[in-house]
Amino acid sequence: MTGASGGIGRRLCLAFARDGFWVGVHYFSHREAAEDTLAELTAAGGQGDLFQADIRCRDDVQAMVDDLQRRRGRLDVLLCNAGIAASHLVVRFPEADWQRIIETNLSGTYRSMTAAAAVMTTGGGSILVIGSYAGLHGTFGQGAYAASKAGLLGLVQTAAREWGPYNIRVNLACPGWQPTGLAGESYPSVEHLQDHVLGRVSNLNDVSMTICRLAQLPDVSGQVWNLDSRIV
């Protein structure tokens, strides 16, 4: 799983480990946090190992997938979770920040998906991309993040059409607001949840378990799931 050192990534790793998966814990620069993720899933009875790569670099991604193949000989599920954000108005968005976010969230996911698909063409597999409600409706001050997540919709649904004949399922899930470092100061207060018809955010444990099950559905591909109470 890419982006396994953060809050959502760690919880997803635990969910997959508890469901019997051997989990590849990817990180870019936060090795200690990734080690904590691996320690938690091991303590929960799971198995896995660390993989370092800059998903903005195709050679890094390919080396990571090749390393996984050497160690495990298979790749059943790819979970694309790595993502970054920055807060700027669209007209003031620094070019460097824009490029960094698009390269990580959109192009990095593309590189991870295509490297994994090359392995999965012989026996099938599942690719599940972590998207965002921002990609469906936009978010004030998050132009690059919203654009990158919107791009994932087209990427996922196109890949699902192209890779379906190889029994590769490609889907996208939006986990909703979660109290993680990525959300930062943008995390909404109770007074700002009017767009959630239940008046609350989704529970990360429930979201993680749901994503784990969605990744295993054998006959579903090209779908987008929003996992909170905002109406799409």
| Rounded Cα gap, residues 193 and 229, in angstroms | 10
Residue whose entry in the numeric block shows the structure tokens 């470092």: 181
145 has catalytic annotation: yes
Closest-CA residue to 119 (of 11, 15, 24, 231): 24
- Contacts of residue 107, Cβ cutoff 8 Å, sequence gap at least 6: 56
Classify 225 as helix, strand or coil.
strand
| Rounded Cα gap, residues 180 and 178, in angstroms | 6
| Rounded Cα gap, residues 212 and 217, in angstroms | 9
Point out the catalytic residue in the list 27, 110, 133, 145.
145
Give the H/E segment covering residue 7. helix 7-18
| Rounded Cα gap, residues 170 and 104, in angstroms | 19
Q: Catalytic residue positions? A: 145
